[in-house]
Amino acid sequence: MKCKAARKLLIDHLGGHLDPGDQRELAHHLETCSACARFWTGARQTMAAVTPVQPVRASADFKERIMKEIALSHPLPVSSPPVSSSKSSADRVIHRAGLSKPVWIAGLAALLLLAIPLFDLLFFPNPESGRDRAAAGLLARAWAAEQDLFSGEGVVYLVNEILVHPVNNPELAGIRWLPMATLQASGQMQMNQLRLPAGPGESYRLSDTALYDPPTGRFMRIVQKDDQVIFATSYDGKSVFTFQPGEAGEARVVKTPVAETFQAPKDPAGFLGIGAGFQSRIDEQDATRVQRLEDTTLADGTPARVLRSTLPAPEGTPESYVLFRIRQDNDTIAEMEWMAAGEPLLLFRRIKTSTLEDRGIHWDLSEIDTQAKPAASSPEVVPDVVIPDVSVEHMAEKADFAAYIFSATPAWTQRRVILDILDIASPPHRMFALAYPAQDKRHVVMIQAVTYNQAFGGLVKQGTLIYTSPNGFKVWSTPQDKMGAMIALQSLRAVIQDAPSENRTGYILESPAGTFPALAVNGPVTDDELHGLIDSLVPVKNAE
Amino acid sequence: MNSLIAVDLVKELDAPPAVTDEAWTRGWPQTAREFEALVEAFQDRLVRFAFRRLGHRQDAEDAIQQVLVNVFLHRIKYRDVPHVTAFLYRMAANACVDAARKRGRRAEVSLEAIASREPVDGIPSAASETAAREEFRRIETWLAVLPRRQAEVIRCRVFDELSFADIARIIGRSEATVKSRFRYGLLKLKKKILSEGEVAK
């Protein structure tokens, strides 16, 4: 190798570029040519003279700042650490209870339904309704602390995660869902269903990011599984944005300028807070259902109180309750876990609470990533899990089974409200709830559903026939009457307001068409009153 | 020649080329997670790059933050642009030009004023920033003897640790041109530095 070629290669090497073949030749040349060796030393010294040694690095929080900034236009997915799978005991409990699976599933679905405080928003957008800040009790304080998060200065920035726990029972694993509310441009709340399907033993987590600007009511909520946006809604002060999954898996964002009737969310904590849509109100009417368990320590080392709020469940079905883990340092809810049969089904966990400056937040969802195609069994949003206050015509059109309605409003009640609800245990069938609020609190509720029609046939066999009407209706009394009435009345709290009374009455009806409506009255009824009610039942298709 | 020195030199040659940062071969990030990996891989390099052009860490970080956020917001647009590294540096260079221009309009901030600025949370102290700035100034004094283009290639190599291929893409010239600029620049610099060394002796 000539010296000229060798020196060229040596400089190339300083430039970070040298072929292995050249390297060998060069090494050989340097061993034999002292002039080039001196050149090499000099070149390296030169390089060293212009190479900085003072470290210049990005600040420690540089990446975090960037990720935060992009989170505002595209919230971050939460990484998915492995979740240990535990063996389900639900099967055993179901068998011990001797209940057929549809009833058990329907019961759970009903429990979820009755845990929807957002029903309040549908009817009575009053932030104080059902929430007594003065009420003693740790849970009340925790809810108050949650509400406080949504006041004050700056934009509230919360990230929660929703963990779908592994459950071995296939039906139970697949039945989980959450209500997801969207505020329409008219100001009407739309209630959607976020299905959280999972195979047996399968688990995953969703991130649930919320932003809220207290003075203007601007908000954003985005639910993601990894990078895939599953649900998104926002309000930028002028328009509402909704994320609508398309038929082919392609999603789009719809922007609608708000109408004059539009109002920002009245209960931002219920709309955007932890477990939004899953906050149980059971604790408020019956303090005996809330129990304090032994304190615990959260993953970050913070001491936490543990409260257990038991959900009412039909006798014989597995016990179901919500565990609240409440941070002792600031009384906020760190975790909410829905347990059934001693096993966790869903966990809501707060992973970030902070306040941002308003500057630069993209309330406009137009730039959100709509590319990702959802996998076949991924969570999805089904619109209109509840449509409040529909007409008789609507009910007649949508009911795909023989449905009935009272031809006249019961004498002691004042008005009628019909709700069109997704039959969660038998989708896509719709179920219909008739509610007749009464001034004397003896509200009347009747619920008709395909799930009930399939499940209650067995139940009435254990019951007593107490009346057969001239129009062919049978009234059955079963050991589950009180519990059934509790669930029916509780499900419609938003309409009837009052908590289920101790002396409530419940029956299962059997229609001439073989369907099984559930009837509940929030108080005692005389035989005459009951007979009057049943006699006035007419098929909804013939009504009016 | 002394065989010990020869062994040393050969050892030096055996060491891999001094590219300290891992090359980015993964294409444009399309998900938040991929983006985070990109930020991790490039944040120090790009901040250093901007720092030596702007002379102030906060300005450098602001400029690079904007570049990176744009990369993510417009990820669909960039998806088919080849050569992530080169393109990032080109965007960073543009951002620095913009930032310097804006600052020029705001009235130039003196180095002394920068040095006496209060350290901000999470940002290394003003003292280490001053030391880094002093060092850059010293190096720039050496580089000032070179033609502008040769100096720029050497900067890209020593400050930014870029490969010849990436430098070629950033400045829009062939790799051979880049190599030759580096070579002539370094030879000139060697002559200057070694002769000054002689004088110093």
Subunit contact B194:A46, Cβ cutoff 8 A: yes
Residues A207, A164: contact at Cβ < 8 Å?
no
Q: What value of ipTM does the predicted structure carry?
A: 0.76
Query: Å from A61 to nearest chain B CA?
Result: 6
Residue B188 buriedness (CB in 10 A; 0-12 / 13-18 / 19+): middle
Paired tokens of A164: 């779908």
User: In the prediction, which pLDDT does A391 show?
Assistant: 92
Q: Can you tell me the mean pLDDT for A55-77?
A: 74
Residues A537, A404: contact at Cβ < 8 Å?
yes
pLDDT tens digits for range A171-220: 667 777 787 888 889 887 787 888 888 888 888 999 898 999 998 999 99
Give me chain A's average pLDDT, please. 77
Q: Can you tell me the mean pLDDT for A363-380?
A: 66
pLDDT tens digits for range A286-314: 555 677 788 898 888 889 988 887 766 55
Residues of B in contact with A50 (CB under 8 A): 139, 142-143, 154, 158, 189
Query: Å from A48 to nearest chain B CA?
Result: 9
Distances (CA, A) of A79 to A107, B33, B34, B42, B193: 33, 8, 12, 21, 52
How far is A475 from A278, CA to CA, in rounded Å? 33
| Backbone torsions φ then ψ of B67, nearest 5 degrees | -60, -50
Pick B183 or A177 by higher pLDDT.
B183
Subunit contact B32:A32, Cβ cutoff 8 A: no
Residues A231, A277: contact at Cβ < 8 Å?
no
User: In the prediction, which pLDDT does B119 show?
Assistant: 40
Q: How confident is the model at residue A79 (pLDDT cuts 50, 70, 90)?
A: very low
Whether A306 has its CB under 8 Å from any CB of chain B: the answer is no
Subunit contact B132:A56, Cβ cutoff 8 A: yes
Q: How confident is the model at residue A248 (pLDDT cuts 50, 70, 90)?
A: low
Pick A424 or A524 by higher pLDDT.
A524
The region of weakest confidence among A52-66, A394-408, B75-89 is B75-89
Residues A541, A517: contact at Cβ < 8 Å?
no
The region of weakest confidence among A20-24, A169-173, A479-483, B41-45 is A169-173
Q: Can you tell me the mean pLDDT for A426-448?
A: 91
Query: Å from A76 to nearest chain B CA?
Result: 6
Q: On the CB side of B135, how many CA atoms lie within 13 Å of its CA?
A: 20
How far is A1 from A328, CA to CA, in rounded Å? 76
The region of weakest confidence among A76-85, A100-109, A236-245, A264-273 is A76-85
HEC-encoded secondary structure of chain B:
CCHHHHHHHHHHHHCCCCCCCCCCCCCCCCCHHHHHHHHHHHHHHHHHHHHHHHCCHHHHHHHHHHHHHHHHHCHHHHCCCCCHHHHHHHHHHHHHHHHHHHHHHHCCCCHHHHHCCCCCCCCCCHHHHHHHHHHHHHHHHHHCCCCHHHHHHHHHHHCCCCCHHHHHHHHCCCHHHHHHHHHHHHHHHHHHHHHHHHHHC
Whether A1 has its CB under 8 Å from any CB of chain B: the answer is no
pLDDT tens digits for range A340-355: 777 788 899 998 888 8
- Three-class SS state of A97: helix
Residue ranges of A 351-370 with Cβ closer than 8 A to chain B: 367
Whether A52 has its CB under 8 Å from any CB of chain B: the answer is yes
Q: Can you tell me the mean pLDDT for A491-505?
A: 81
pLDDT tens digits for range A112-127: 444 433 333 333 323 3
β-bridge mates for residue A432, sequence order: A420, A448
Query: Å from A54 to nearest chain B CA?
Result: 5
Please indicate, yes or no, whether the overall pTM of this predicted structure exceeds 0.80.
no
Q: Can you tell me the mean pLDDT for B63-67?
A: 91
User: In the prediction, which pLDDT does A536 show?
Assistant: 93
What b/e readout covers A270-281, taking b as 16+ CB neighbours within 10 angstroms?
A: bbbbbbbbbbbb
